[in-house]
């Protein structure tokens, strides 16, 4: 599988062993995890990280993760991942995290659009889904800019930092 994807400003590279420090810092950062869930222990972060180093196919149960970098500067921007949710109906879920210093530049939207195109061309996915909390306005805006539609809002469906939040379920059929 092609491990590098290019968009106008970004280079997406499949996560590799040398990305450990970046991954550890993302999942232990309370600000970045505010709308996703509790920060994770280093052990749990490492366990997930090692799963994601494995080769990926449509039948994999682990996430396929790319590190996002600015092509011009080489600076880390964040990460984006997809995971097969329905093998028969070729449906994938997308998740993404942009570092504090790279927010507000349209990078999340650019990366999602590019990953959707790549995933359709390479794996034949014909539907994408995403979940975020109702109060997470920036993420909802990103999903809408990427062409996703709000299917439903499920009340009090996830606990984040001891509080039940409503989840928004988005989808896009290619």
Ligand X SMILES: CC(C)(COP(=O)(O)OP(=O)(O)OC[C@H]1O[C@@H](n2cnc3c(N)ncnc32)[C@H](O)[C@@H]1OP(=O)(O)O)[C@@H](O)C(=O)NCCC(=O)NCCS
Q: For 87, how many CA atoms within 13 A lie in the half-sphere containing its CB?
A: 5
Contacts of 117 (CB under 8 A, 6+ apart): none
d(CA 103, CA 126): 28
Say whether residue 27 binds ligand X (CB under 6 A): no
Cβ distance 146 to 116 under 8 Å? yes
Single residue of 5, 15, 23, 36 touching ligand X by CB under 6 A: 36
Single residue of 24, 35, 62, 113 touching ligand X by CB under 6 A: 35
Instruction: Please report where in the chains the tokens 């997930």 appear, as a residue.
Output: 48
- Min CB(4)–ligand X separation in Å: 20
Say whether residue 108 binds ligand X (CB under 6 A): yes
DSSP string, 17-48: GGGHHHHHHHHT-TTTTTTT-SPPPHHHHHHH
Which of the ranges 39-47, 52-60, 84-92, 95-103 carries the binding residues for ligand X, by CB under 6 A?
95-103
Single residue of 65, 81, 129, 139 touching ligand X by CB under 6 A: 139
Single residue of 138, 150, 153, 164 touching ligand X by CB under 6 A: 138
- Interface positions with ligand X (CB under 6 A): 32, 35-36, 78, 96-98, 103-109, 132, 136-139, 141-142
């Amino acid at each position: 599988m092609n491990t590098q994807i290019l968009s106008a400003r970004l280079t997406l590279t499949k996560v590799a062993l040398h990305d450990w420090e970046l991954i550890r810092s993302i999942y232990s950062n309370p600000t970045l995890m505010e709308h996703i869930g509790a920060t994770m222990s280093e052990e749990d972060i490492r366990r997930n990280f090692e799963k994601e180093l494995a080769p990926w196919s449509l039948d994999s149960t682990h996430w396929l993760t790319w590190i996002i970098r600015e092509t011009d500067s080489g600076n880390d921007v964040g990460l984006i991942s997809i995971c097969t949710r329905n093998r028969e109906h070729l449906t994938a879920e997308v998740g993404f995290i942009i570092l504090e210093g790279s927010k507000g530049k349209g990078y999340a939207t650019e990366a999602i659009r590019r990953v959707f195109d790549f995933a359709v061309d390479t794996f034949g996915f014909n539907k994408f889904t995403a979940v975020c909390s109702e109060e997470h306005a920036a993420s909802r805006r990103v999903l809408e800019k990427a062409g996703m539609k709000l299917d439903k809002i499920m009340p009090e469906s996830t606990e984040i930092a001891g509080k039940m939040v409503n989840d928004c379920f988005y989808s896009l059929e290619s």
